[in-house]
């Protein structure tokens, strides 16, 4: 009886946390960060470098085509942003850069893990993901 109850509470709180995370208000970057200019031109080399990191680090959540259907999504019951969402085109590069740098649970902060250049490369790559 006790263990069943514990299980129920666990399941309930787990679901609750995930729902609260994804249902919370839209994730906005500070205006100063959003207006930061992208210093890295979206060259083939930059996009390729971004794609390399993306397929190693981001695919598990955001999915190969940016549809938020990576393997971790089902496992962790999370709801990553769709990077294939046309709405992304309305967000400045600086805003995406800030989000990659800062993270937001359950998305890790990548500010320490990847150099500035690599984070801009990621932004450049995300821009090439077909939107639909
Ligand atoms: C553990 C899962 C996870 C991983 C790994 C992950 N993300 Fe995310 N990401 C999320 C979630 C969840 C959100 C939505 C956060 C929110 O809005 O509450 C998000 C949001 C974003 C956004 C904001 C999109 C928007 O509409 O504003 C960007 C950009 C992004 N992620 C890029 C990346 C990149 C680049 C990587 C790899 C370096 C990455 N993410 C790795 C889970 C993840």
In a domain, 22, yes or no: no
CATH number (domain holding residue 53): 1.10.760.10
In a domain, 21, yes or no: no
Q: Is the CB of 106 under 6 A from ligand 1?
A: yes
Overall average pLDDT of the 109-118 stretch: 98
| Cβ pair 120, 38 in contact under 8 A | yes
In a domain, 8, yes or no: no
Integer Cα distance of 31 and 24 in angstroms: 20
Between vectors from CA 30 to CA 114 and to CA 88, what angle results, nearest 5°? 70
Q: Which of 21, 80, 88 to mutate to test the pocket of ligand 1 (most atoms within 8 A of CB)?
A: 80
In a domain, 98, yes or no: yes
Domain around 41 = 27-128
The pLDDT value given to residue 1: 57
Burial of 24-47, coded b for 16+ CB within 10 Å and e otherwise, reads eeeeebeeebbebebebebeeebb
Residue 3: exposed, middle, or buried by beta-carbon count in 10 A (0-12, 13-18, 19+)?
A: exposed
Residue 22 has pLDDT above 70, yes or no: no
In the chain, pLDDT over 70 holds for what percent of residues?
82
In a domain, 34, yes or no: yes
Between vectors from CA 115 to CA 119 and to CA 88, what angle results, nearest 5°? 10
| Cβ pair 27, 95 in contact under 8 A | no
Read off the pLDDT band of 9 (50, 70, 90): very low
Domain count, the chain: 1
Residue nearest to atom 8 of ligand 1 (CA): 107
In a domain, 20, yes or no: no
In a domain, 18, yes or no: no
pTM: 0.86
Residue 110 has pLDDT above 70, yes or no: yes
Overall average pLDDT of the 20-35 stretch: 78
Residue 21 has pLDDT above 70, yes or no: no
Q: SS3 for 83? A: coil
The pLDDT value given to residue 103: 97
Q: Is the CB of 82 under 6 A from ligand 1?
A: no
Overall average pLDDT of the 29-58 stretch: 98
| Cβ pair 130, 65 in contact under 8 A | yes
In a domain, 58, yes or no: yes
The pLDDT value given to residue 2: 53
Q: Mean pLDDT in the chain?
A: 87
Read off the pLDDT band of 24 (50, 70, 90): low
């Amino acid at each position: 009886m006790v263990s069943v109850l514990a299980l129920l509470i666990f399941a309930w709180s787990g679901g609750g946390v995930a729902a609260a995370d994804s249902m919370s208000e839209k994730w906005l970057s500070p205006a100063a960060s959003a207006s930061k200019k992208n210093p890295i031109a979206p060259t083939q080399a930059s996009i390729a470098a971004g794609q390399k990191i993306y397929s190693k680090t981001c695919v598990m959540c955001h999915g190969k085509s940016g549809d938020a259907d990576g393997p971790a999504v089902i496992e962790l019951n999370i709801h990553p942003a769709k990077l294939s969402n046309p709405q992304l085109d309305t967000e400045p590069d600086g805003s995406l850069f800030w989000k990659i740098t800062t993270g937001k649970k359950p998305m890790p902060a990548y500010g320490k893990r990847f150099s500035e250049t690599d984070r801009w490369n990621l932004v450049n790559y995300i821009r090439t993901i077909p939107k639909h």
